[in-house]
Amino acid sequence: MTATATEPTRLERVVAGIGTIFYEEKRDRAGRERRNYWLLPEGGTRRQSLTSVTTILRGTWPKPGLLEWYAREGEGVDTALERASARGRAVHKFVEVFMTTGDILPFDAFPSDYAPYLQAIARFLWEYDPKPIAVERLVAYPEFGYAGRLDLIAALDDEPTLLDFKSNPKGRIYSEAHVQAHAYRIAEKKCGGVDVARVALVGVAEDGTYNVVAGADASKMWGSVLDFYKTLGRFERELEKVA
């Protein structure tokens, strides 16, 4: 059965001295999720496409553990990814609503198997009491051609902290999560936003527990990932010419 397209999500952020960042999230008629970022430079009339941080990491970072997970799940890659993505969106929505309105979304508004993850994130929010500064904010670094949507910048113990939330059965924080968070931190500074010195990753697990890990400084690693991604792209284009 062919899925029907759903109403897209669109966001934008105007950044003085840079331009307007646009984000669109939608499903095509086959049910595939599409996420796109653009930048309309200040004073310009034509927007340019930007590559998402997650796309760059997906194209460069080895994930042997992910392949093992696919095998354990016994389902297709697309199905497994979509299921994990939907769960992650639910966790992020729960955080976004609470941080922007103070409302706690009822667990029964989500699929029943999400409940332990939502319990975990609710415990984190209650026990750490983050004071929101920026929620689900678009960021970009035009010179490097990338953009993203950070989860949360909040004051923890009165110190601005960039928080990134991950949901998986064990609540693990993988190495690329540190790199992703610092890519957002660097872009947020480029956009003239909050100069965040501290990064923390929060993993929520299927048993209702959470795990907070201080973000290692992965700024140089992100630079290396960007270089490799661009080099790989040039190499693939050269291969196309001789194919």
Which CATH number belongs to the domain containing residue 119 in this structure?
Answer: 3.40.1350.10
Q: Is residue 126 in a domain? A: yes
pLDDT at residue 85 in the model: 84
- Opening angle at CA 86, ends 82 and 90, nearest 5: 170
In angstroms, the CA 70 to CA 81 distance is: 9
pLDDT at residue 75 in the model: 56
Q: Is residue 67 in a domain? A: yes
Contact criterion met (CB below 8 Å) for 204 and 166: yes
Which residues span the domain enclosing 209?
52-242
In angstroms, the CA 98 to CA 105 distance is: 8
From residue 130, give the alpha-carbon distance in Å to each of 95, 134, 157, 173, 200. 11, 11, 8, 20, 12
The whole-chain average pLDDT of the chain stands at: 89
pLDDT at residue 3 in the model: 36
- Number of folded domains that form the chain: 1
pLDDT at residue 242 in the model: 81
**Torsion over CA: 54, 59, 65, 68 (sign):** positive
Q: Is residue 27 in a domain? A: no
Length of the chain: 243
Q: Is residue 28 in a domain? A: no
**Torsion over CA: 48, 27, 80, 95 (sign):** positive
Q: Is residue 167 in a domain? A: yes
Contact criterion met (CB below 8 Å) for 110 and 117: no
In angstroms, the CA 180 to CA 5 distance is: 29
pLDDT digits (tens, 9 = 90+) for 104-158: 999 999 999 999 999 999 999 999 999 999 999 999 999 999 999 999 999 998 8
Which burial class, exposed, middle or buried, applies to 30 when counting CB atoms under 10 A from its CB (0-12, 13-18, 19+)?
exposed
Q: Is residue 158 in a domain? A: yes
Q: Is residue 39 in a domain? A: no
pLDDT at residue 35 in the model: 86
Q: Is residue 139 in a domain? A: yes
